[in-house]
Chains A and B, each alone.
Chain A
C-alpha cells in the first residue's frame, strides 16, 4: 500500500502555502542569487536533463517531459509550459558533494621525508532548485555515510555545508519510478528548505526551514488558498497511486540474506555486462578508490579519490585472489548491499526508488523484477 502524501494538519498546510505564479519563478531564482547562492537546476542537455547552474528560468526544461523504460530514456515535447515535468535524468545531487574525482591530499617529499596536507574544496554557497523527493532522500542517505559516521569526511562536509534546497514534489512519475516502496516520494518530506508543487499556472510553495521561510517571505507571495492546496493533494495521491513499479521490502534484509544462493544470480550474471552504469547513476552508491599520482618533477604527489564500482573487476581483488571473480557475484553484492546490508550498516535502505539503475542499464536489468524473482524460493 503506497503511503499517501501527508494530509497531516489540513488547516496548517493551507495557511502555510503560498502561490508562486510561473512568470514569477525568475524572482525566486533572483532572490536565491541575491543571497549569494549559485543556483543549480535541471536543464535539458544532449537529450537528457542534468543539474547545471542557471541564471534564468528560461534554462529549465519548459514544455518537455521524458519517457523512461528499462534501458531507454527520451526527452519529448509536451503540451503546456510546465518546467518541472521531467522527472529525472542520469545525474543526481551526488556529484556535487561526493565528487567523481577530487584531490584529497597534497604531498611534498624531500630528503627528510614528506609532508601531507589536506586540500579541501572551496565551494560557493549553492541552492538546488527542483530537487525530487527521491534525490532529497538520497542526499540524506549520503549524509548518513559521509557526515554522521565514525569518521566524518572533511571533503564532503566542505561542499555540503552551505546549501539550500528547493524541492519539487512529483505530480508525474516516470515508468521506472518506485519511490512509494520506500516512502521517499513522491512528496518531499524532510531535508528541504523550500518545496514547490507545480500546477497549470504556477506553484504551490511552502517552506521547510527558517532559511527557506526567509526566502519565501521576501517574495511577498499571496496565499495559495484551499482550492489549490486540495488540488495539490489530489495530484500527489494520484501520482503515488499511478506508480507502476514497486519492490516488496517485507522481511529485508533477512529475506535477501536467505537468498544468497538463489539461482537467479547466475541468470542475471549472464545478462549483466558489469559496466557499472547502475552504480554511477545511483544517487546513494559511495564506493571509491584512493590512489597516489606522483608529480612529474618528483617534488611530491597528490592523493586522489575517484568513484569506483563494485562491478569493477578489481573491486574485491587482493593479492592473488579475487573474492568476486564472476559478474554474478558482483551483481549479488550490489543488490544485497543496496537493499539489504545497507539496513544493517546505516539503519535504512540504500535504495530510494529513483529508477535510474533501470533506465540507464544498457541491457535493461530491472531491480524491481530481480527482487520479485528472488522473493520466490528457488524451485
Chain B
C-alpha cells in the first residue's frame, strides 16, 4: 500500500485539558489495518484533516491498547481545525513513523526525564508507559521547567505521576506568578537538588534545544555520559518518509532516523545552532 495514503480513523473519545489541548482516541475504520499501526512509545503518526493538511503527532496511548490516542496542542492552521473535531468525526492516520524511546534497554535503570517549554507530548506517553510497568524501572525523576507559570499545561498529569512510588517530580518556572507554589528558576537549576548514579541512570530529554544543550552540558559535568542521554528533536515535517527534506538536521532525517537521538550520535549537529 502507498505509504502516503492516510487511513480513515474515527474519533471515539475526546478529552480536553483546557481550551488548547485535546486528547483524541481513535479507531481505524478498517480494523484489519490496526497491526500496521503497532508502535513504540515516542513514535508518531501523521494526522490528516482532509482539505486542510497533515501534522506530525506522537502516539500517546499505550502500545498494548487497541485504540490509538493523540494528544494535540492547538497552535496553527491544521491543529485549529482538529480542535473543532469531536466524537464521530473522522481524521486520517498514517504511520507509525520514527524510532521511539529506548525504553526496553532502560529496564531496571533509573530514569531522569528533563522536559521544558510548552509541549512535551513525545515524552509524556513514554512516562505513562513506564509507570504502567513500574516494577521494570528504578527511580524515576521528572524535572519540568516552563517560562511563565501559565505555560504549565496539563498539571494534573504531573500530580498523578508525583504519587507513583520511588518517583521525584519537580516543576519550576522562570517567571512565576503569585499562585505558583513550585520552584523558581530554570530547569537546569533543579539538577543541584537531585542525586543520581551516573552509571545506572538513563536520561530522556525533550524541549527547546537551547535548554537541552545546556542541560546535557551540566549533566556531563556531573559524570553522565552522552551515550546515556537521549533527546527528542523537533523539526518541520511534511512527508515523514524521508523524502521531502524538511526535517533534516545535519545528516539525519529526523522523521525516520529520529525523532529520538542518542546525544553522542548527534554530537556537533546538536551543539551547532541553526542547522
Binding site for B on A (CB under 8 A): 104-105, 107, 109, 112-118, 145-146, 149-151, 153-154, 253, 257, 260-261, 286-292, 294-295, 300-301, 303, 308, 310, 314-320, 323-326, 329, 332-333, 336-337, 340-341, 344-345
Contact = CB atoms under 8 A, between A and B. Distances in A.
B105 interface: no
Interface in B1-50: 2-6, 8, 10, 29, 49-50
Given A113-B8, A153-B243, A260 B238 contact: no
Contacts of B8: 113-115
A276 B274 CA distance: 19
Contact of A315 (B51, B90, B236, B242): B236
**3 closest A-B pairs by CB:** A113-B90, A287-B245, A344-B251
Nearest to A342: B251
Interface in B220-275: 234-236, 238-239, 241-246, 248, 250-251, 253, 256, 268-269, 272, 274-275
Interface in B61-95: 75-76, 90, 92
B235 A257 contact: no
Given A114-B50, A287-B244, A319-B76, A260 B234 contact: no
A316 B246 contact: yes
Contacts of A337: 248
B256 A150 contact: yes
Contacts of B245: 286-288, 308, 310
A114 B92 contact: yes
A260 B251 contact: no
Q: Which of A107, A146, A300, A318 has the most CB of B within 10 A?
A: A318
Interface residues of B, number: 39
Contacts of B275: 260, 323-324, 329, 332-333
Given A288-B244, A320-B75, A257 B4 contact: no
Contacts of A257: 250, 268-269
B54 interface: yes
Given A105-B4, A345-B251, A326 B29 contact: no
A341 B244 contact: no
Contact of B250 (A310, A314, A325, A341): A341
B165 interface: no
Contacts of A324: 274-275
B50 A107 contact: yes
Contacts of A114: 8, 50, 90, 92
Contact of A149 (B6, B49, B76, B242): B242
Contacts of B256: 150
Nearest to B119: A319
B5 A118 contact: yes
Contacts of A261: 272
Given A291-B53, A294-B51, A315-B236, A116 B243 contact: no
B29 A286 contact: no
Nearest to A114: B50
B135 interface: no
A326 B274 contact: yes
A117 B246 CA distance: 24
A51 to B, nearest CB: 23
A317 B247 CA distance: 10
A149 B250 contact: no
Contact of A151 (B50, B243, B274): B243
A290 B250 contact: no
A115 B75 CA distance: 27
Contact of B51 (A300, A314, A329, A345): A300
Given A114-B8, A300-B50, A333-B275, A149 B92 contact: no
A319 B92 CA distance: 21
Contacts of A303: 4
B243 A145 contact: yes
A333 B248 contact: yes
A318 B53 contact: no
Contact of B238 (A107, A286, A289): A289
8 contacts: A113-B8, A113-B29, A116-B5, A151-B242, A288-B245, A308-B245, A323-B274, A323-B275
B4 A118 contact: yes
Nearest to B272: A260
Contacts of A104: 4
Contacts of B3: 151
Given A146-B243, A315-B246, A340-B251, 4 more contacts: A114-B50, A116-B92, A329-B274, A341-B251
A79 B49 CA distance: 60
B52 interface: yes
Q: Which of A145, A151, A291 has the most CB of B within 10 A?
A: A151
Contact of B244 (A149, A289, A294, A326): A289
B50 A287 contact: no
Nearest to A336: B250
A314 B76 CA distance: 14
A361 B109 CA distance: 55
